Amino acid sequence: EARALLAERNELRAQAREHALQTAQVLATTFGTLARIAEDLPRAVTAVVDEATQATEPAVWVAVPWVKRLLLVGDPHQLGPVVKTGDPILSQPLLNRLVDAGVPLPMLEVQYRMAPAIRELVAEIYGPTYRDAPGLADRAGEVVFVDTAGAGAEERDPLTSSLYEPAEIDAVARLVEAEIARGTPRDRIVVVTPYSAQVSRLRARAELAGIEVGTVNAMQGREQDVVIVSFVRSNHDGDLGFVADDRRLTVALTRARHRLYLVGDTGTLARNARFARLIDRIADAGGLRSVWDET
């Protein structure tokens, strides 16, 4: 009897699932789940791939045989998928390949997230038509670059080979304390950095208890009122590694709504042309500080 009841339950579940798939107006799913349920979907379907630049091309092709219309929504100026193989076909998203082939890409020209002072940092990437939504023009925004030049240097974690920079960790901790002192709730502050070793050491600081800390890749698609970015790279050779990736910098600069703090060694970072322009812009606006002024 128990087996019969279990079989009946499974049959009812299957019927309910099929009914839901056939009648639902909107279905949110992952590529992995789509591959399993595609045969049960009606054919007259439009598929919208959100954050399309983070999807590998083979993953997107899973949807193609089952849909009449495929919409790719994403930003080619931001990070692609994390791929642990050297195969270039996996590292380049389909959206980027279509753009490179000359397929027109309509752009959403109105942004609803950033205060104008922050949006101006990426004006060179998105062009002169990129503008603020009504109501954002009066939003108070602040951009500060805390220069750690001469305060320390990057170090390598012996276990993971990831990089960290102790002077930047101290500077970030002081910025968090200052934000909390001005009344900012901890859940409105996020700390972003390119390296996992920096993430783990920041999370270990008592001053950052209750503060979200993550890598730039993990924060793509996210936003927060106050964002603190720690760039980590600090060396005599001007070696930025993957921090020099324009897409990674664009993601880091576009997470904040109200206040954006950038922490890094200008002596190292300014060897890169885009970083040099960024630092000059912030300095011209009066936002460049030295870590030595805050110790």
Ordered by start, the domain boundaries in the chain are 2-100, 110-293
Whether the per-residue pLDDT at 85 is higher than 70: the answer is: no
pLDDT at 44: 62
Whether the per-residue pLDDT at 204 is higher than 70: the answer is: yes
The domain 110-293: what is its CATH number? 3.40.50.300
Q: Alpha-carbon torsion 125, 126, 127, 133, what sign?
A: negative
Share of the chain above pLDDT 70, in %: 96
> Could you give the count of Cα atoms lying within 13 Å of 264 in the half-sphere of its Cβ?
30
Cα 207 versus chain centre, distance: 24
pTM of the model: 0.86
Whether the per-residue pLDDT at 295 is higher than 60: the answer is: no
Instruction: Give 152: exposed, middle or buried? Use CB within 10 Å, 0-12, 13-18, 19+.
Output: middle
In the structure encoding, which two tokens stand for residue 52, read together? 């399309």
pLDDT mean over 251-276: 97
pLDDT mean over 201-229: 95
pLDDT at 184: 96
